[in-house]
Amino acid sequence: MNFIVTGASRGIGFETVLQLVELGTNKIIALSRSKSGLSKLVEEGNQLNANSRIYPLCFDLKNSDDSQLLQLINTEFNGTVDGLVNNAGTLINKPFAELSREDWQEVYDVNVFGVTSLIKSIKSFMGKENKGHIVNIGSMGGFQGTEKFSGLSAYSSSKGALACLSECLAKEFEDDNIHVNCLALGAVQTEMLTQAFPDYTAPLSAKEMGTFIADFIVNGHKVMNGKVLPVAFKN
């Protein structure tokens, strides 16, 4: 199968790609701004399973030209994408009163507008012979009715927008043989979490969450469409 994963150079995206590599003969286009992180990913992936293939591509969701991505899809995927994991995200931890317009723009550019642009770019390659699956990685902070945390108004509201977008696109893409779901993740021990909350230790590792996401992108759309699913550790 052919997959695209964003934010693939570290954390949850990194582990999701490695799990997809282990699942069989998958091909994965791994997108990230970090060339060194992508090189490490390819090295580890090659050691895990020589029958799968990772295609690393430096890509900035905010302003990247998608021509190289489209070329990869055409040449290496034969023009077919089975699944897209929109994992890349950014987080700013500041009180609401201190957030600048630039802060809001930065968060929404990556967490919302970058996602919509990427989906528009590759939608025509999905839902052909096989049903396509788009998985947007949201947050429990953007899940309606959950406890919210001070300092995360920009981040959580952007993830709330992503959840609603997923529901809208699931309906709009019904006739295109494409399913869209959103996973609202709880706390996971990643570099981004550590940078925002240095004194907090999450109950789940990036590898544990990556394993779940890899299985979900492969199988979740067989029974679900338009769902916003909370994925959080419970005692």
Share above pLDDT 70 across residues of the chain, in percent, rounded to a whole number: 93
Share above pLDDT 90 across residues of the chain, in percent, rounded to a whole number: 77
Query: What's the confidence (pLDDT) of residue 204?
Result: 78
Q: Is the dihedral of CA 136, 39, 57, 55 positive or negative?
A: negative
Q: How far apart are CA 139 and CA 230, in angstroms?
A: 8
Q: Decide: residue 150, CB within 10 A, 0-12 exposed, 13-18 middle, 19+ buried.
A: exposed
Closest CA to 38 of 58, 67, 53: 58
Q: What's the CATH number where 224 sits? A: 3.40.50.720
Query: What's the confidence (pLDDT) of residue 235?
Result: 54
CA distances from 21 to 12, 30, 43, 194, 226 (A): 14, 11, 12, 27, 26
Query: Chain-wide mean pLDDT for the chain?
Result: 92
The structure tokens listed for 129 are 């012979």
Q: How far apart are CA 84 and CA 6, in angstroms?
A: 8
Q: Helix axis angle, 67-76 relative to 114-122, nearest 10°?
A: 40
Question: Which residues form the domain of 76?
Answer: 2-231
**Domains identified in the chain, total number:** 1
Closest CA to 66 of 53, 84, 82: 84
The structure tokens listed for 106 are 């930065």
Summarize the confidence of residues 152-165 as an average pLDDT: 97
Q: What is the CA radius of gyration of the chain?
A: 17
Q: How many residues does the chain have?
A: 235
Number of CB atoms found within 10 A of residue 167's CB? 16
User: pLDDT digits over 6-59, tens only?
Assistant: 999 999 999 999 999 999 889 999 999 999 999 999 999 999 998 999 999 999
Query: What's the confidence (pLDDT) of residue 29?
Result: 98
Residue 213 pLDDT greater than 60, yes or no: yes
